[in-house]
Amino acid sequence: MFDLHKIEQAVKMILEAIGEDPQREGLLETPARVAKMYQEIFMGLEEDPSEHLSKTFSEEHEEMVLVKDIPLFSMCEHHLIPFIGKAHVCYIPRNGNVTGLSKLARLVNGYARRPQLQERLTKQIADAIMTKLNPYGVVVVVEAEHLCMSMRGVRVPGAHTVTSAVRGLFKKNDASRAEAMSLILKS
């Protein structure tokens, strides 16, 4: 589905537009490299990440499951430069409907590897878990630094954006939400 040739042409044009010479030795292979890189960092566009949750197994654990510090590399859709951070995913299984822990990281990755907004990414992860696993509740917290705020524009390196999506029981039950949040934010 990726048009690698078109990406190569576009990169060549950008190099020309910034006054570079795409024919100089160091840049000769750059358009092809960037095309391959885009194919990799936008690979989430080619999948439905929620499919990672299709395979479940049965384990009677109707308590919190929390996977913390899932590394996150995404691309700001406004500037096409990275935002980098961590996702924390917490859910309470219903009827023993449990997913493999790695699948939660695959889910995060699938939604991250697209042109994204942090808010949408956070929501998509939570909604996929609600839809596919039908758990009692979900909390997703994403913490990230946006390079579009660090290396350009307002230039505030170190500023972190934190977003959350709260679903099901966690929305109604203040104590459960507070417990999840304290486990998530505890370093």
User: Contact positions toward ligand GTP, by CB under 6 A?
Assistant: 76, 78, 117-119, 146, 148-149, 153-154
To the query of whether residue 76 is one of the catalytic residues in this protein, the response is yes
- Quote the CA–CA distance of 52 and 63 in Å, as a whole number: 21
Whether residue 76 is annotated as binding a ligand: the answer is: yes
Q: In terms of CB distance, is 50 or 118 closer to ligand GTP?
A: 118
Whether residue 79 is annotated as binding a ligand: the answer is: yes
- Counting contacts by CB under 5 A, is residue 152 touching Zn ion? no
Q: In terms of CB distance, is 103 or 123 closer to ligand GTP?
A: 123
Stretch of residues binding Zn ion (CB under 5 A), selected from 31-39, 67-75, 135-143, 147-155: 147-155
Of the candidates 148, 179, 181, 183, which one interacts with Zn ion according to CB under 5 A?
Answer: 148
Whether residue 88 is annotated as binding a ligand: the answer is: no
To the query of whether residue 118 is one of the catalytic residues in this protein, the response is yes
In whole angstroms, how close is the CB of 119 to Zn ion at the nearest point?
A: 13
Tell me which residues touch Zn ion (CB under 5 A): 76, 78-79, 148
Q: Which residues are catalytic?
A: 76-79, 118, 146, 148
